[in-house]
Structure formats: structure tokens, C-alpha cells
Amino acid sequence: MTVLVGRVPGREPGRGALVFGARLTRALGGPLVVCTVTSPGEEAPADPGDATPAVDGVEVETTVVEDRSVPGGLARAAHARQAAVIVLGDAPPGPGSVGARLARSADVPVALAGDTAVHDGPVTRVTCAWGGGRHAARVLATAVDLARRTGASLRVASFGPQRGPTVPPEAGLHAEEVVVEQWREQMVAAQRAGLAELGVGDAETLAAAGASVEEAVAGIGWDDGEVLVVGANAAGTATRVLLGDPGGAIVRGAPVPVVLTPGTTTLS
């Protein structure tokens, strides 16, 4: 399975994107391709491989595609190379960024890997952000597939603020605790039902609440070799996932690479 790393002309591909792409390549067993997108009429680099750092243990191919937009070119290259995932250096993407636009249009998962705290070891755990929406089961299926292919353990987690809109400040601390506990029970029950439908019985499940969604995300503890899978449907919810609350807060608060998936059931 091909892993495609996106590169903007004139810039070296982010070290984090290359390292994370290599981690996925070793697990998925396919080639690692660094793709440079050039504008129509723009002179292509003579040898894009000259600007691509070597990655230990992985043979890196390079390719150049011409397109009016970087996201469009990467999506087309991913389709042509039958890529299982596109890896970018965005972490997290902001409004109008390549990652935000690509997540809306690509029909394959888009991984966001920053350049801080780069971990070059295997994927040790996959955490799926469970939101309970209509695409939750398909997002979970992608996380399960990634965990199986990488040999990693699986964790399913829901995140929320300690005081939601249904609990006004005057209701009191006890009422707030009751509502949060009910929310935890509902989320964990839904997570376990989703896992059971996929035949998975050995995953960790939890629902974390904090003063903010970001605090809830940070509070569950993360491994150096962990990956977070978040749903980002190409049919419109990607904008809310990337920029809205709570989806955007989950992406912003994650201290590990994030895989935004349109909800496909496998990485193939």
C-alpha cells in the first residue's frame, strides 16, 4: 500500500511528515512516495529527490504532478498511485490550509504529522475519537483496521467539556456531575456496541471530560508511538471537524499524529 507524503514546491517536506510516513510504510508494506505539486506552467524541479531527506530503512520515491491547487494535485496523485493515506506536515491545519482543504476532498485518510516530538518507532497504540454521530461506526472501522495492520493496541475515547450547554451554572455542582456521568455511561456503551459489531473485544474504552475539550484530550495520557483517528467526512463535516468545537479542539489538543478519515472501512 502506497503512502503519499505531500510536498510544497520550494520547501523541504517536513521531517515529521517523512518520519510518520515511513512508520506507516513499514507497517503497511508499500512504497513511500513524496509528491511535489507544481502550478500549470511552473518549471518542475529538476530532481525533487535532491530535496528529500533519506529515511532509514525505507526506499523513498519522488513524483511531480501539475495542478492548480496543491490539495487537488495530491488527491489526484493519491488516486493514481492507489495510496492508502496522504501524509502532511500540518499539525493542526488552520483555515484554508492544505490539510483542511484536502480533508474535504480526498477519499482516503489524511494524516497530519507535526515536526515536534518526532517518534521514529512503530505505532504502539491507535486511539479513535468517538463522537457518536452517524459516521462513527465507519471511523471506528478505520481505526480498527489501522491497529490491526500496525500491530498496535486500540483505544476508543470520547471527549467533552465538564459543563455542557445542558448544564447552566446555577444548576450546581452535583447536577453537573450527574449529567457528565450520564454522558460518560452513554458514550462508553455506544463505543462498546460499535466494537462488538466489528468483532473487537480487547479495546480500551473511556469518556473524558475537562474544563475544555483540549484539557480532556490532554488528560487521558498518550504514548510516544500513538496515533489518533478522527472522522472528517468529505461531504461537509470536515470544516467542523478541523475548525469547530469539539472536533477542532480534539485535533488541536492531540499531542500525537492525527489521521483524518472520511469513514472508509479499510486503508486499502
Burial pattern 98-127, b for ≥16 Cβ within 10 A else e, equals: bbbbbbbebebbbbbbbeeebbeeebebbb
Q: Is 179 helix (H, G, I), strand (E, B) or coil?
A: helix
Please tell me the number of Cα atoms within 13 Å of 187 on its side-chain side.
21
Kindly tell me if the per-residue pLDDT of 56 is higher than 50. Answer: yes
Q: What is the pLDDT of residues 66-87, one digit of tens each?
A: 998 888 899 999 999 999 999 9
Whose grid coordinates read 454522558? 183
Selection from 100, 161, 159, 142 nearest residue 227 by Cα: 142
DSSP 39: -
Give me the mean pLDDT over the 172-176 stretch: 62
What is the reported pLDDT for 77? 92
Q: What is the pLDDT of residues 200-258, one digit of tens each?
A: 989 999 999 888 888 999 999 999 899 999 887 533 344 444 444 556 778 888 889 98
The confidence band for 192, taking pLDDT boundaries of 50, 70 and 90, is very high
- In order of 79, 115, 178, 205, 208, the CA distances from 192 in angstroms are 34, 34, 21, 7, 15
What is the reported pLDDT for 213? 86
Lowest-pLDDT choice from 45-54, 154-163, 175-184: 45-54
The confidence band for 147, taking pLDDT boundaries of 50, 70 and 90, is very high
Beta strand pairing status for 204-210 and 60-66? unpaired
> Which domains, from first to last, does the chain contain?
2-112 (3.40.50.620), 125-261 (3.40.50.620)
Burial pattern 187-204, b for ≥16 Cβ within 10 A else e, equals: bbebbeebbeeeebeebe
Whether the CB-CB separation of 63 and 35 falls below 8 Å is answered with: yes
Residues 6+ positions from 69 with CB-CB distance below 8 Å: 37, 101
The confidence band for 100, taking pLDDT boundaries of 50, 70 and 90, is low
Residues paired with residue 125 on neighbouring β-strands, in sequence order: 153, 226
